[in-house]
Structure 1
Amino acid sequence: MTMTASPVLDSAIAKARARLLPFLILMYVLAFIDRANVGFAKNVLQADTGLSDAAFAFGAGIFFVGYAVFEVPSNLLMYRFGARVWMSRIMVTWGIVSACTALVHDATSFYVLRTLLGIAEAGFFPGIILFLSNWFPAKTRSQTMGMFYFGFPLALLLGSPVSGLLLDAGNPFGMHPWQWLFIVEGIAASVVGVVAYFYLTDWPAQANWLDAAQREALDDALRHEDRQKLAHGPASVLAALGDARVLFCAVIYFAVQMSVYGVVFYLPTRIAGLASGGHVGVEVGLLTAIPWIAAIAGTFCITRIADHHGHHRTWAAAMLTLAALGIGASALTSSVVLAIAAFCIAAIGFVCVQPLFWTLPTGYLGGAAAAGGIALINSIGNLGGFVAPNLKGLAEHFTGWPQAGMFSLAVVGLIGALLLLMFRFEPRVSVSASASTSTSHGTGGLGERTGH
């Protein structure tokens, strides 16, 4: 079925993007800063608390255990209560826990607070993916998710120099700079969480900032997609959790996240070791921002090309391969310039692959099945964030070769790319004007379109 252009639908999508995406990107920026700022604080945190490298790696990764365990329940609660309520709850609680990381004084307190941070943030990312799939039709989903993913590089583009600046502070209010870092960035997340309650709109049918024709066109298009998803995908949460395609996607996403967090946790210290003798401050923060500028440009271009030409799975595999090559190349040079160039290649690859990847499961998961399936994929995938730093450390320990860690992560990325090429299900959802106008209007009909 081919896509028929609809000026009213296109205007509704454009208005929804302008209204929702900047705020969602801000939320993602703060989420990622609070998740990854431990990488910037690594050296001074270890120096002040006596954490070993092994303890830091375990604590950095244990975040993802709590995150994974509570991911599916959290996303089902968001489906029940709506994004406005649940996203606000998530952001307020994770901001509080992140600020409390300033209280870390030994390995045990570090493990406890990192676990609690994972529990507090559980459901945020799959909730956003579900929210976007409830707002934007398949024909623009890669571009829309790509724009949301700008939050990933923006978090490190903006967060890197800000974190460096906070770490270069003296001893504000008698605290260590790393304590100030966690407090400031945690409070910022909680404040935005409060605003989210008043700003977000759960469903297009509830959006009084769209005119009546736009609400109807967007709601009809999404209803039509929901019907196709129910016809071709699992119809319940339990069916989604046991669906072979969902589980295969989870394995692929695990490999993607291994590549992502293996770089994110160690990029600042890698650049610091080459550029400033190990000190992570403003200079290193600015240098590590360069790969994220490249990632924004790459994601902007690649997702549009993929939406125009299709073949999202092939594009995703190519981008994950690019990420793996960049990760491997970053371990082979002692030049700051070449290392940054390699990280640029890696960043373009592993940022681009994610919105492309999410078009696969969101192409056939709808309703409560989408809430459960997306959360399961994300929860299993994000365990890669726990495994990555530990795999890196083990590879270096057993081989005695400092580059072995990054090469092991590069190999995982190549395996993920191969699995993407093996994934044969392509989204079959499309929108036509005739189908859209044949659906029922208003807020009746499918439960997932009624709001909560």
Structure 2
Amino acid sequence: MTRITPAAGISGGIAASASPAVAVFDGIQDAQPLPNEALERDVVRKVSRRLLGFLFVLFLFSFLDRINVGFAALTMSQDLKLTSTMFGMASTVFYLTYVLCGVPSNLMLVKVGARRWIGTILIAWGFASSATMFAHDATSLYLIRAIVGITEAGFLPGMLLYMGDWFPSAARARANAWFMIAMPVTSALGAAASGYLLRLDGVAGLAGWQWLFVLEGLPTVLLGVVTWWYLDDKPADARWLSAAEKHALDTMIARDRAATVSQRASRASDAGNSMWRAILTPSVAKFALGYFCLVNTLSLASLWIPQIVKSFGTTSSNVTIGLLAAIPSLCTIAGMIWWGRRSDRLQERRWHLVLPMLFSAAGWVVTCFAPEPSLRLAGVAMASTGAYTAMAIFWTVPDRSLAPHTRALGLAVINAVGNLGSALSPIVVGALKDWTHSFTSGLMFAAVSLLVGIAVLWFAPLGQRRGTR
């Protein structure tokens, strides 16, 4: 087992110079120079080319299987006689099981390895998502969506844990942005494609929404099979990296984790603490509560945008509504990439997190009160862009606040608590829609949640610039 101990004064990040480090191999110390900046940059680029595209595709189908019920609802709600509250409850049930199973799923990933576990759950939720075609009333829909939540629970926290083993902190905002743009890309492509899939109504005796679940769920099963042989659990297992490249990557990751241990040790010793006690800290609580507030908007944007666009009074077809609903997602993609690159370039996280959240809250206000449908659509684009951009920046920070032995559990806990917002938001928005016959109160609920999240996260250890916390 190899442990890298950085020399004093070396800060985390790609920009570290070639200062000496001490590598300890089974108790024998050998001084070695750190890789130079050019090699470090080359390794990060090589890892990005190998992993980010594939992980992006996995996340695209993961998110599609999560949100396609929102597109299907344009016709499914009438066929199954669902009220807005019932439809919101279907999403709430999904997220309740998602939250309950997130922590044990991440622990299983650590035990069996990312390649095997991610591949297995991809296959399981692909079949479960396709099975949504068999829903015939509200109760059966709840049951199937609960199963999808169980099977998908470990994917996002597992991917965040996995990326922490491959990308140093100084490159994480860009990596997260390129990985997480799968969400708005899925919303855009899903909105456009789903409108056309709904036109298959009656083909082979199936409703259009049934075809939607089948054709969007089965590709995930194939991707699960591919994952088994494409991914490597750790950099040490990667045959596509040379020995020097593996050493460079291990050194960068070790510097980050040594800095985390040093920061924690300066506050208090973790010796003798249980894993649970080590993660149940005020910092983790702030991250979890802040993410909960942010997820209210993420859930609303991913689930309700097609129906929000339809509520603007348009008499357009489902295809046109799908195309209009794709516009906010296209804006989101551009915003995430630009803002993530900017955050990494400046090595600043605090303002790069809270400003998009504020922008998103303003977007919901515009959506509620703008006089023209075009301005309301612009408000939806603001809300979506701000929320998803904030999420990409958010996930660069908790990893640095957790000791190495608590990372898997800590990230799963933050993701699970945060996704209680995904369980709460659909039923709240659906009930308010049935009660007021308008989305205004639900959108204002999301805007207020974002403001509360800003207040909470402002006092979390977000850091300022490289080497600071």
Residue-by-residue CA offset, 1:171-201 (whole Å, 9 max, x unaligned): 2221111011001111011111111111111
TM-score (norm. length: structure 2) = 0.87
Report if aligned partners of 2:167, 2:253 keep a CA contact under 8 Å in 1.
yes
Match of 1:265 in 2: 303
Aligned residue type for 2:429:
K
Distance in 2 of aligned mates of 1:226 and 1:156:
35
Out of 399, 407, 413, the residue aligned to residue 370 of structure 1 is 407
The equivalent residue for 1:308 is: 345
**CA separation of 1:400 and 1:269: change in aligned 2, threshold 3 A:** closer
Alpha-carbon contact 2:168-2:256 (below 8 Å) kept: yes
Q: Contact (CA 8 Å) 2:102, 2:412: kept in 1 or not? A: yes
Matched residue, 1:294: 331
Contact 1:88 1:193 in 2 (8 A): yes
Most deviating of 80-89 and 237-246? 237-246
Q: Quick check: 1:137–1:221 contact (8 Å CA) kept in 2? A: yes
1:171-186 map, 5 Å: 171-186=202-217
Match of 2:16 in 1: 4
The equivalent of 1:442 in structure 2 is: none
- Structure 1 stretches of 5 or more lacking a match? 432-452
d(CA) in 1 for partners of 2:176, 2:438:
38
Going from structure 1 to structure 2, the CA distance change for 1:175 and 1:400 (only over 3 Å counts) comes to closer
1:355 aligns with 2:392: yes
Paired with 1:401 and 1:288, the residues of 2 have a C-alpha distance of: 18
Once the two structures are TM-superposed, the CA of residue 385 in structure 1 deviates from its matched residue by 0.9
Per-residue displacement from partner, 1:207-242 (whole Å, max 9, x unpaired)? 111222111100121123223333434676313441
Offset, 1:429: 8.1
Taking the aligned partners of 2:377 and 2:435, their CA distance within structure 1 comes to: 27
Q: Distance in 2 between matches of 1:427 and 1:83?
A: 32
The structural deviation recorded for 1:395 is 4.1
Structure 1 residue 359: Cα displacement: 1.6
Q: Does residue 1:24 correspond to 2:61, yes or no?
A: no
Matched, 1:158 2:189: yes
Aligned positions of 1:23-42 closer than 5 A = 23-42=54-73
Alignment correspondent of 1:435: none
In the TM superposition, residue 15 of structure 1 has moved relative to its aligned partner by 0.5
| Deviates further, 216-225 or 375-384 | 216-225
1:425 positional shift = 4.9
Residues 27-426 of structure 1: pairs in structure 2 closer than 5 A: 27-233=58-264, 237-274=275-312, 276-277=314-315, 279=317, 281-333=318-370, 335-396=372-433, 402-426=439-463
Alpha-carbon separation, structure 2, partners of 1:189 and 1:424: 37
Contact 2:364–2:443 (CA<8 Å) still a contact in 1?
Answer: yes
Task: Output the amino acid matched with 2:406.
Answer: A
Q: 1:415 to 1:278 in 2, by over 3 A?
A: farther
State the aligned residue count: 430
User: What amino acid sits opposite 2:331 in the alignment?
Assistant: A
Quote the RMSD (CA, aligned, Å).
2.0
Distance 2:334 2:238 in 1: 31
Equivalent residue letter for 1:4: A
Q: Which amino acid aligns with 1:66?
A: T
Q: Is the 8 A contact 1:314 1:420 kept in 2?
A: no
Larger radius of gyration: 2
2:16 maps to amino acid = T
Give distance in 2, aligned partners of 1:147 and 1:300: 7
- Normalised by the length of structure 1, the TM-score is 0.90
